[in-house]
Structure 1
Amino acid sequence: MKIAQVAPLWESVPPKLYGGTERVVSYITEELVRQGHEVTLFASGDSHTTADLRPACPHALRLLSGPVNRDAPLILMQEQALGAEAEEFDIIHSHLDFLSFPMSRRCATPVLTTLHGRLDLPELVPIFREYAEMPVVSISDSQRLPLPDANWQGTVYHGLPDLYEFHPNPGSYLAYLGRICPEKRPDHAIEIAKRVGIPLRIAAKVDPVDRDYFETTIEPLLDHPLIEYLGEITDAEKCDFLGEAAAVLCTYDWPEPFGIVLIEALACGTPVLAYRRGSIPEIIEDGVTGFICDNLNDMVAKIDRLPLIQRRRCRESFETRFTVKRMVEDYLAIYERMAAVLARPRRFLNGRSRRSRLSRMNPTGLAIPQAGTA
């Protein structure tokens, strides 16, 4: 197939440091190329890929300094991918969430959008009501609960290439990886480490929007002999950081859409302790690959049960459920189904007829006949 992948421009593909969505886009793109598909990647110019890279800006936007209009390259990229160059592709896979919906509605080529973020915010309801025909994919079943009437084409769990080595022996510290922000509750991870007397190593970035939270709430907690703050780390550093930990703490206090850190830990053989939020029960098998906890006290108590977790079972869960090959096979099934249903001679595809056909797709992706239609 001829497939376009449209990535956010906030980070490069793959990201140099933290960046979950752009990392997943890279994994999908490289595996599609490996399987012999003709793939074009719309992303920032400092991305690295075996696909045909069509850059919308020279560098990823997050680390730019000075006066920069970050919306301009995003608009230009959508005009290229979903407008001028759309007819080159059998299907376009957007990772821009609802930002690409206006152009997708008017695009003659089928457009599938993976929703990577939380969907429980009230301002999203009118957006998804207006663009109810847009075919979308969730990254967990729990993610879609706030928007049950969206045009869901399936749930596709994230997957990883075999980047992480299995570490059979548990280390002597707890690990926290990701972002420093209120909804991730790094303060809980710190408190747990202090209560159980086990060192905690924190490898996490601080976005500008969370700088005040870091400085006022988290930074004062770092001055403790058990706590070590490393800042952001690279992909190359993550394998040992996760693999040499006794466990990874995911103290997320929000409806986590997926949590790629969880499967990175499983790939290393490291069990995960996480709160019962969002997708967590779909990813972690309680008592098998980690423990699902109801609150801070519960997580403290579960630390003593870590020796019951077999690290080989964690790795096996990754190999069975969360590989990049499985992820791409799931996406290809949706691509092929959509291309078969939506493909028509371009001259007959105006915006109104396309919207009508899209709105008649049920969650399996099959067109639902209406009276008077062929």
Structure 2
Amino acid sequence: MIGKKEKWEEKLSLARQIKNTCFFFSDNIQSLKDFLHSQKNHIVLIDHADSPIDSSKLSEMLILDYPESLNIVLLPSEEYLFDILNSLEEGMIYSYLYAKSLPIEFKLLIKNAIKKFCDLVITQELVYKVKVSHQNTQDELKKQHKNFDLILNEKNRYFHFIVHEIKGRLTSILGFIEMLQKQDLEESERKDFMELAFFNSNEILRMIYSILELARSNELTMEIKKRPFSIRKLFYKMEKTFSILARQKNISLHFLSPETDDMTGDPEKIEMAFSNIISNAVKYTEKGEVTVGLEKDEDGILFFVKDTGRGISNEEIHAIFNPYIRGKYTKEFSGTGIGLACSKSIVESHKGRIWVESMGKEKGSTFFIRIPQNYA
């Protein structure tokens, strides 16, 4: 049995609901229009003097059935009907009723109005998500396009540099050949010109092979022709080749005796990977020395090249094996940056790892290549 106090509290609560959700308009059309523009989810009731249902009771019924879904607008007469119909077409309201309608009509119209409102909200949400997704896609495409342009510009710049590098070396070779044709050359001079022509020819070949291997590795898995070969013979060949450039630059080049002679892998590609590292070290060392060695342990072989050259900054170490990156301390020297990227690709095709350590600018660098036991 509900007491008087409980009934009173229930009526008070309902009165608050009516106050918060019902709006009575009896003043002017403009205030109604402003209200409809500022609110959402309306059910508009047009009251009549001959209505069989009292407006307040009708409001109570609607609020009890739909407590969170409606803003009820009570209008005194049909003079507002034209504005209500316009608002309905513009999507500001979702239904309107006459207070003299039957209760079942109220419920049906209200349900339809609520469904229309919910459908509109869902549609608006979907449209918003599509717009956001479209915008994100556009932003991502712009970002990728910008990155593509940067990479393309870098590639164009470096391929122009490669052409210039090859052209310069070919010009040098032609100059050496022209000098060799002179009859009055001393034997030591003749030998020097022959060595320099030989070295520059090898450098051009190495550069071309590096570019081709790098291009292949980007498109396909690099083909490895695995077989046993002699490390000592490879060291002897590389020492003979790079000692020419070392003498020309007046730096010391030391090849330490490798701890093992036997290695399994692709000898031509291993030679290219090692030679690119040595060439880089000799090229970027202005004075001092370059040391080349190879150690063997239970994990495989560890090839290293240590130099007293320009060194590498911390920020450059992470990008040095990118084919289109050259350090800011090395740009005054010839070179393309292709060689290190090619070495990385070859080493990884042998299931190995390549890295560099440096204490910083003017403190030299040490490059390492580790190839695991199943290849060594």
- Which structure is richer in relative contact order (CA contacts within 8 A, separation 6 or more)? 1
More helix by share: 2
Same fold (TM over 0.5): no
Structure with greater Cα Rg: 2
Alignment TM-score, normalising by the size of structure 2: 0.19
Alignment TM-score, normalising by the size of structure 1: 0.19
